[in-house]
Amino acid sequence: MGVVKKRDSCLSIRPKLIVWDFDLTVLSIHSWAAGIRQKDVADRTLYDDVADLAFFRHFVQRALEQGFAVAIASFGQYEVIQAYMDRIVGRGVFNRENIATPSKFGSKDGRALRGGKVPMLKSLACKMLRASPQELSLRKSDIIFFDDSWDNVCGAIENGFIHSVLVDCRGFCEQLWNEVKCPLGMDNFCDASKLDDSLA
């Protein structure tokens, strides 16, 4: 769908944290609405459930190699997300530290938070970028955020997370990335010709 942001020029400094929504962004399905439980994930077909499995694996691997932090911000159930991410990219890459769900904020998973994804983005920025609350306003531009919800993306932008991308029905995929990488200042970041699909 493209980048929703407040300036049109390519960035001179690349962001340092990449955050994805989960359902209908990393996944092409809505795991919460479908009632998928943690124990169900082991039997799911990843190529059916993930928007672009090979590209996402390659993208995360490339991000980590380049020193980027990665995270998930979702209203879904933590245990289900964790089970999926362990299968998608391997254990240890995503954990409770970088998977933000409502249960980390005193609510129940499966419910939207007051303020949308903004509380999650602020928390992840402080934790993953080691930004103090005083530094947070200066670090918001260090974050790229992908979400399929217009409200979540607009709310993020209104709160200073200007590098927020509205994901369309394709989910996070190579084609979408190719459309938005230049405005994000990341045009040379991920060479999909070197895809590594070795993870089971």
| Single pTM value for the model | 0.90
Please tell me the predicted confidence (pLDDT) of residue 198.
Answer: 44
Q: What contacts 40, CB < 8 A, 6 or more positions away?
A: none
CATH topology of domain 14-194: Rossmann fold (3.40.50)
Please tell me the predicted confidence (pLDDT) of residue 192.
Answer: 55
Q: What contacts 58, CB < 8 A, 6 or more positions away?
A: 190, 192, 194, 195, 196, 197
Q: Mark the ranges of the chain whose per-residue pLDDT is less than 70.
A: 1-14, 190-200
Domain-wise residue ranges, the chain: 14-194
Please tell me the predicted confidence (pLDDT) of residue 12.
Answer: 44
Q: Which residues pair with 72 in a beta bridge?
A: 20, 99
Please tell me the predicted confidence (pLDDT) of residue 13.
Answer: 54
Could you tell me if 56 and 50 are in contact, meaning their C-beta atoms sit under 8 angstroms apart?
Answer: yes
Cα–Cα distance measured from residue 107 to residue 121, given in angstroms and rounded to the nearest whole number: 16
